[in-house]
Structure 1
Amino acid sequence: MVRSPVGASPAPRRARGRAGDSAATRQLIIDVAAREFGERGYAATSLSDIVAGTGMTKGALYWHFESKESVAVAVVHQMFETWPVLLRGVMDSHDDALDALVAATYVAGRQFATDPVTRASKRLMAELPPEALAKLPQPYVGWQHALTQLITQGQERGQINPGADPVGTAQVIVASFFGMQQVSQELSARRDLEGRLDSFWALVLPQLRPVSLS
């Protein structure tokens, strides 16, 4: 019988350790880049700024990213990957679809207020060159699709007014939210975003409640 060498088993663990270290390093670069891009903007941020923030060498950064543009694209991609997870968490934590619909906008608002990747991504999508934007998903459509599904489910459960058009309602909510967060950013650094959401839902909720509850 052929036996495995005594020292053979640790090798896979070491390989997994290296993979974990690599993922952690890549995430560190993204986190630092998000902070720099969010504060300085794309044009004013250099790879040297990002390298300095990570404390690593430029060669180490190039192991993960080939250019400043590729780092910026990775930052925005992370935002797009985060949104579905957040929305699913909101939907799973609310039995009532209308409550989930409202909660989703407040959760998104907190992301813009507190998450550097989200804030940087919003700025990068306005500042990246067209060839970089072409590498990214189309903005807003994922939100619209998710909210359309949520509204449809709510109507099927009797939780949302059946007369509301799911697609049109989702489009209005998404457009209103992103408009509000932009105005809030310009006027108060998003400090008043929650109040703006309160006003929005005070206006819209009566139209979405089931007729028996309106």
Structure 2
Amino acid sequence: MTKQERAARTRDTLIRSAAREFDQHGYALAKLSAISSGAGVSPGALHFHFENKAAVAAAVEGEASTALRRTARIVYRERSNALQNLADTSHALAQLLREDIVVRAGFRLSCSSGRRTDLNLRQEWQSCVQQRLAEAADEGLLAAGIGRRQDLASTIVAATIGLEALCRDNGEWLSPGTITGLWRTLLPMLTGADTLAGLEPAGSQAAPGRAHAPVG
């Protein structure tokens, strides 16, 4: 292994250890000593890669953002209709939040009201929802007289982000069954019976979680 490869591996290990620390204790109470200890490296090795706690947190957020965006692109490339794609994307992102500590910690850091960074993953999710609803309208999928798309997007974002917050105390809130139940409730409000018959609230077979394929 080259020196550069060892340095990259150490950095990745530190990011994962930091994610565990931030996930358990939040940004304010997280300790650099616990991060370095959890990674099995000295404090000096940590400071070689990261100047301070803010820099470590930014790295965790950046890794989370990359994973979330990559997953959304994978689902989008399946090119199902816009409403199915929106449901599939929510299932895939929920899977990441359940299973990937870096994504979970990075999402929470990004959405924390006490920190101001260039990343806002909650806003990115809202933009994704708005885009899919605009595509659904262009495809003629939305029910007649359904109301403003902005209100629909706000409702979907509030529901999905709310599940992420509830998951901090009980992981079942982001389980496949809970996400399926959410879409089983929402989809009949969004579209007519003909379109609804072809939609799968549990996610299509092409969605990463349903296909049991590695995400990203």
- TM tier relative to shorter chain: 0.7 to 0.9
Q: Does 1:205 align with 2:187?
A: yes
Check conservation: 2:27, 2:109, Cα contact below 8 A: yes
The percentage of aligned residue pairs carrying the same residue is 28
Check conservation: 1:31, 1:117, Cα contact below 8 A: yes
Distance 1:42 1:141 in 2: 20
> What letter matches 2:73 in structure 1?
R
Q: Does 1:80 align with 2:65?
A: yes
**Aligned partner of 1:178 among 152, 155, 161:** 161
Encode CA deviations 1:2-49: one digit per residue, 9 max, x unaligned. xxxxxxxxxxxx9xx544443332222101111122123334432121
Query: Structure 2: any 5+ residue segments left out of the alignment?
Result: 197-216
Q: Which residue of 1 aligns with 2:82?
A: 97
Distance 2:166 2:13 in 1: 31
Distance 2:24 2:41 in 1: 21
Q: Does 1:143 align with 2:91?
A: no
**Aligned partner of 2:106 among 103, 117, 121:** 121
Encode CA deviations 1:47-99: one digit per residue, 9 max, x unaligned. 12111122222222111101122212221222223222111111112422211
Check conservation: 2:129, 2:153, Cα contact below 8 A: yes
Distance 2:130 2:31 in 1: 40
Distance 1:78 1:113 in 2: 16
Encode CA deviations 1:174-211: one digit per residue, 9 max, x unaligned. 1110112222433xx22243333233222210122246
Relative to the length of structure 2, the TM-score reads 0.76
Distance 1:47 1:192 in 2: 30
The change in CA–CA distance for 1:177 and 1:19 in structure 2 (over 3 A counts) is same
Distance 1:31 1:108 in 2: 19
Check conservation: 1:155, 1:162, Cα contact below 8 A: no
Query: Structure 1: any 5+ residue segments left out of the alignment?
Result: 1-13
Q: CA RMSD in A?
A: 2.6
Check conservation: 1:77, 1:136, Cα contact below 8 A: no
- The structure number with the bigger radius of gyration is 1
Relative to the length of structure 1, the TM-score reads 0.77
Q: Which residue of 2 aligns with 1:4?
A: none
> What letter matches 1:206 in structure 2?
P
Distance 2:110 2:18 in 1: 14
Q: Which residue of 2 aligns with 1:6?
A: none
- Distance apart, 1:144 and its partner CA: 1.4
